[in-house]
A and B are shown apart, each in its own frame.
Chain A
């Protein structure tokens, strides 16, 4: 069965801290994605990666960076956390080149910045 694992379900950090959210997939997928989910706004893409060490900005990359050193792992980094980054963060992965394949999601991380 496909599996995307996010390192934490709940996380509380302080303003100004550097925050790491980790995501691991065991399906050998080429594509990985980070979204944030806010009420009334749906899911918005922060960054995605289509290969190791490759990344592209999504719709709301400001204040975030990512790292993909290995195919199975995609990390989201909040360089200096701010209260407006309090949100639900979802990681996803998908196969490259197959149009009807869905993205598979992790269980999400609820991040609170105090």
Chain B
């Protein structure tokens, strides 16, 4: 069975600092994809970044990057130069590529950026 673990229920960071949100995963399938979503207090889920299990390089999207360590089964999200608008819930999710493209989500981390 697939599982995602986010061990940080909450994090507090000063504005302009970098922040790392932890995500570890468990699967026996060799082909999988990892996603990060942001959920502001308004409730919508915003896709941030994707990493495929066979991708050679760590994914980057603007201020977001993914620290993908396959042997350790971790896929940590790094946000550089944090902004007040980054305050939100963040979810890590995994999709096993065989099957109906279901996502398995972690419990989430609530990030608060302090001015």
Q: Which residues of A contact B (CB under 8 A)?
A: 9, 31, 33, 35, 40-45, 48, 50, 56, 58, 88, 90, 92, 94, 96, 99-100, 102-108, 110
Q: Does B91 have its Cβ within 8 Å of any Cβ on chain A?
A: yes
Q: Does B69 have its Cβ within 8 Å of any Cβ on chain A?
A: no
A sample of 17 inter-chain contacts (CB < 8 A) reads A9-B43, A40-B107, A41-B107, A42-B105, A45-B102, A48-B100, A58-B102, A88-B43, A92-B45, A96-B101, A99-B95, A100-B50, A105-B45, A107-B42, A107-B44, A108-B44, A110-B43
Q: Which residues of B contact A (CB under 8 A)?
A: 4, 6, 9, 31, 33, 35, 37, 42-45, 47, 50, 52, 91, 93, 95, 97, 100-108
Contact residue among A9, A31, A100 (Cβ-Cβ distance under 8 Å from B100):
A31
With A31-B101, A103-B47, A105-B45 given, name 5 new contacts (CB 8 A).
Answer: A40-B107, A48-B100, A48-B102, A58-B102, A107-B42
Contacts of A56 in B (CB 8 A): 100
Q: Check A50 against B100 for contact (C-beta < 8 Å).
A: yes
Contacts of B104 in A (CB 8 A): 45
Q: How far is the CA of A44 from the CA of B99 in the complex (A)?
A: 17
Q: Check B106 against A42 for contact (C-beta < 8 Å).
A: yes
Q: Check B43 against A94 for contact (C-beta < 8 Å).
A: no
Name the distance in Å between B92's Cβ and chain A's nearest Cβ: 9
Q: How far is the CA of A5 from the CA of B102 in the complex (A)?
A: 20
